A and B are shown apart, each in its own frame.
Chain A
Amino acid sequence: MGMTMTQKILAAHAGLEKVEPGQLIMADLDLILGNDVTAPVAIREFDKIGAEWVYDKAKVAIVPDHFTPNKDIKSAEQCKLMREFAHHQEIENYFEIGQMGIEHALIPEKGLAVPGDVIIGADSHTCTYGALGAFSTGVGSTDMAAGMASGQCWFKIPEAIRFNLKGKLQPWVSGKDVILHIIGMIGVDGALYQSMEFGGEGLKNLTMDDRFTMANMAIEAGAKNGIFEVDEQTLDYVKEHSTKEFKVYEPDKGARYTRVIDIDLSEIRPTIAFPHLPDNTRTIDEVGEIVIDQVVIGSCTNGRIEDLRSAARVLKGKKIHSEVRTIIFPATQKIYLQAMREGLLEIFVEAGAAVSTPTCGPCLGGHMGVLAGGERAVATTNRNFVGRMGHPESEVYLASPAVAAASAITGRISSPEEVVK
């Protein structure tokens, strides 16, 4: 019986010829990641193991990105604990404020994730690097601690849903719309315990940034990981960003899938997830009149350069609605600089948006854009759970950067087609 991409990568990292769904394996890890919320818990657990040093200081990455720049004293203490651990352990991939970015945009940009890797991160959106043909998945702090000490992690071999992509996206439709469309179709637990494997002739029509966004939100369908087949675009990206050795895995011809779903990219419309679940989706044509108070463009889902370019195409030469607060977060320092050089930041500020340093802050109601009771936000983030961005009676509508930017101008959820003539 053939294996899926994920099964082949996990088998190779467990030193096995073959694996079967449901089999428990111990796999060698290529990278272990933590942030300022999860790493402090992991560091305390690591100390309990009695291991003096991490198993490989080049294979641990620590990024202060959630409540940074430090939002309060408690957050500052957590960052301090983490910073001291990173310095003491001589962690090579610790990224201080000023060099950092939102972890899931930063790790690929720094070349730390490559095809064929097995990566765990104490953050659920670690599944993002599946865009590069790696197996990467979110775990908790205790798994991070055990991984740092041993270089290994146990996994149950997952089954997979195969998504065969065809066709080409329409103007103003992006990877965000595709993944929201898919989550709306299969549900927030539609891929529970499974891989979501993406491939097909339409793959070439999705940019790397589209793929990062889609792999990032695999967790919102309950998936263990999202993974994309590797093509020329992937290889170009890897060559540009990384010097790490890598290996390309392809799914076997006879690989077994629990479901095979065909997605015609040309049929997808801009898609919005209504409160309070990412599978509560509607197309832009079904939205109706939803008046908003805030727009957030950024996050590990949609804070990359193409996302900012897309928002800028909508906002250029226009003014944001007087009753809408718009906050834009380039996801890394490099993206920030690139956006500055391309004149995107000027477009944002001229339009009346606030532009922030990279942080996860508003996405999880941490800081830099917390919502009050009864307020509504359109956000390019990944979750619209109750209380996600602040008050439990606030509402989050998930959308693409283009829809978010258009909504910022009109003050209600709007299509970019309406704003850009």
Chain B
Amino acid sequence: MIQGKVIKYGHNVDTDVIIPARYLNTSDPEELAKHCMEDLDKTFVDRVRKGDIMAAGRNFGSGSSREHAPIALKASGISCVVAETFARIFYRNSINIGLPILECAAAAQDISEGDQVQVDVNTGVITNLTKGKTYQAEPFPAFMQEIINADGLISYVRERKKK
């Protein structure tokens, strides 16, 4: 079970603002985390706390395929992203590196900045503790759940190669 305070953004948060390309000359997670969200919100890096949950509108993670984007979010302390919709490459990348992300339009729209939110990644149940409301996100298909249970795609492929 994940629980944290929400940091909220709008629609079309693209990977160029999650981690600007000028910092892609490294793939060190700690280094990337220092510049996470910089071009959209300069205060993010200072105010994010370990375990915080990010909420956003439509098409979160659009643009570049840089895996540095979910890596930077995860390294900055974000424990989960809840959005109305995700761009598909970002969605794959997050699952593959083990950053839980849930698509739930009602929750994403209702949640406000600063709310305390609880997320059960296994069932897709999202509870807004501040507002006293519960939502059901689309649960992961069984196949994706296997990747998540294997702790990401690399472990999943490693196990399959052994068989």
> Does A154 lie within 8 Å of B97, measured CB to CB?
no
B122 contacts chain A at the CB level, 8 A cutoff? no
> Does A222 lie within 8 Å of B25, measured CB to CB?
no
On chain B, the residues within 8 Å of A74 by CB distance are 25-26
Among A145, A188, A388, which residue has its beta carbon within 8 angstroms of that of B154? A145
Whole-angstrom distance between the Cβ of B57 and the nearest chain A Cβ = 10
Whole-angstrom distance between the Cβ of A64 and the nearest chain B Cβ = 13
> Does A277 lie within 8 Å of B157, measured CB to CB?
no
Whole-angstrom distance between the Cβ of B56 and the nearest chain A Cβ = 13
B163 contacts chain A at the CB level, 8 A cutoff? no
State in angstroms the CA–CA spacing of A71 and B22 once bound together.
11
Task: Indicate with 1 or 0, residue by residue over A187-206, a CB within 8 angstroms of chain B CB atoms.
Answer: 01100110000000000000
On chain A, the residues within 8 Å of B58 by CB distance are 189
Among A49, A51, A222, which residue has its beta carbon within 8 angstroms of that of B87? A222
B17 contacts chain A at the CB level, 8 A cutoff? yes
Given A383-B16, A385-B16 in contact, is the A142-B67 Cβ separation under 8 Å? yes
On chain B, the residues within 8 Å of A71 by CB distance are 25
> Does B59 lie within 8 Å of A40, measured CB to CB?
no
> Does B64 lie within 8 Å of A142, measured CB to CB?
no
A174 contacts chain B at the CB level, 8 A cutoff? no
On chain A, the residues within 8 Å of B144 by CB distance are 24
Among A123, A143, A145, which residue has its beta carbon within 8 angstroms of that of B92? A143
On chain B, the residues within 8 Å of A66 by CB distance are 24
Q: Which residue on A lies nearest to B17, using beta carbons?
A: A386
Whole-angstrom distance between the Cβ of A15 and the nearest chain B Cβ = 17
On chain B, the residues within 8 Å of A156 by CB distance are 141
Whole-angstrom distance between the Cβ of B148 and the nearest chain A Cβ = 13
B53 contacts chain A at the CB level, 8 A cutoff? no
> Does A141 lie within 8 Å of B67, measured CB to CB?
yes
Interface residues on B, range: 35 or more
| A366-411 contacts to B (CB < 8 Å) | 366, 370, 383, 385-388, 390, 392
Whole-angstrom distance between the Cβ of B100 and the nearest chain A Cβ = 15
A146 contacts chain B at the CB level, 8 A cutoff? yes
State in angstroms the CA–CA spacing of A50 and B160 once bound together.
12
> Does A385 lie within 8 Å of B63, measured CB to CB?
yes
State in angstroms the CA–CA spacing of A88 and B73 once bound together.
33
Task: Indicate with 1 or 0, residue by residue over B9-27, a CB within 8 angstroms of chain A CB atoms.
Answer: 0001010110011101111
> Does B62 lie within 8 Å of A222, measured CB to CB?
yes
A122 contacts chain B at the CB level, 8 A cutoff? yes
| B83-142 contacts to A (CB < 8 Å) | 85, 87-89, 92-93, 96-97, 141
On chain A, the residues within 8 Å of B59 by CB distance are 188-189, 192, 222
> Does B68 lie within 8 Å of A41, measured CB to CB?
yes
On chain B, the residues within 8 Å of A289 by CB distance are none
> Does B64 lie within 8 Å of A188, measured CB to CB?
no
Given A37-B24, A38-B66, A188-B59 in contact, is the A149-B157 Cβ separation under 8 Å? yes
Given A189-B59, A385-B17 in contact, is the A140-B65 Cβ separation under 8 Å? yes
On chain A, the residues within 8 Å of B156 by CB distance are 146
State in angstroms the CA–CA spacing of A72 and B22 once bound together.
11
A224 contacts chain B at the CB level, 8 A cutoff? yes
State in angstroms the CA–CA spacing of A393 and B68 once bound together.
23
State in angstroms the CA–CA spacing of A212 and B31 once bound together.
36
State in angstroms the CA–CA spacing of A142 and B87 once bound together.
17
A139 contacts chain B at the CB level, 8 A cutoff? yes
Task: Indicate with 1 or 0, residue by residue over A85-99, a CB within 8 angstroms of chain B CB atoms.
Answer: 000000000000000
State in angstroms the CA–CA spacing of A40 and B160 once bound together.
23
A78 contacts chain B at the CB level, 8 A cutoff? yes
On chain A, the residues within 8 Å of B47 by CB distance are none
On chain B, the residues within 8 Å of A50 by CB distance are 158, 161
> Does A142 lie within 8 Å of B65, measured CB to CB?
no
B39 contacts chain A at the CB level, 8 A cutoff? yes
Given A49-B158, A139-B89, A146-B157 in contact, is the A123-B65 Cβ separation under 8 Å? yes
On chain B, the residues within 8 Å of A392 by CB distance are 20, 38-39
Given A49-B158, A124-B63, A124-B64 in contact, is the A67-B17 Cβ separation under 8 Å? no
> Does A189 lie within 8 Å of B16, measured CB to CB?
no
- A365-B21, A383-B14 are known; give 5 further A-B pairs, CB within 8 A: A74-B26, A138-B65, A140-B65, A392-B38, A392-B39
The interface of chain A, by Cβ under 8 A from chain B, is 24, 37-38, 40-41, 44-45, 48-51, 66-67, 71-72, 74-75, 78, 121-124, 126, 138-143, 145-146, 149-150, 154, 156, 188-189, 192-193, 219, 222, 224, 277, 364-366, 370, 383, 385-388, 390, 392
What are 8 A-B residue pairs whose CB atoms fall within 8 Å in the complex? A41-B68, A49-B154, A140-B89, A140-B93, A156-B141, A192-B59, A192-B87, A219-B89
The interface of chain B, by Cβ under 8 A from chain A, is 12, 14, 16-17, 20-22, 24-27, 38-40, 58-59, 62-68, 85, 87-89, 92-93, 96-97, 141, 143-144, 152-154, 156-158, 160-161
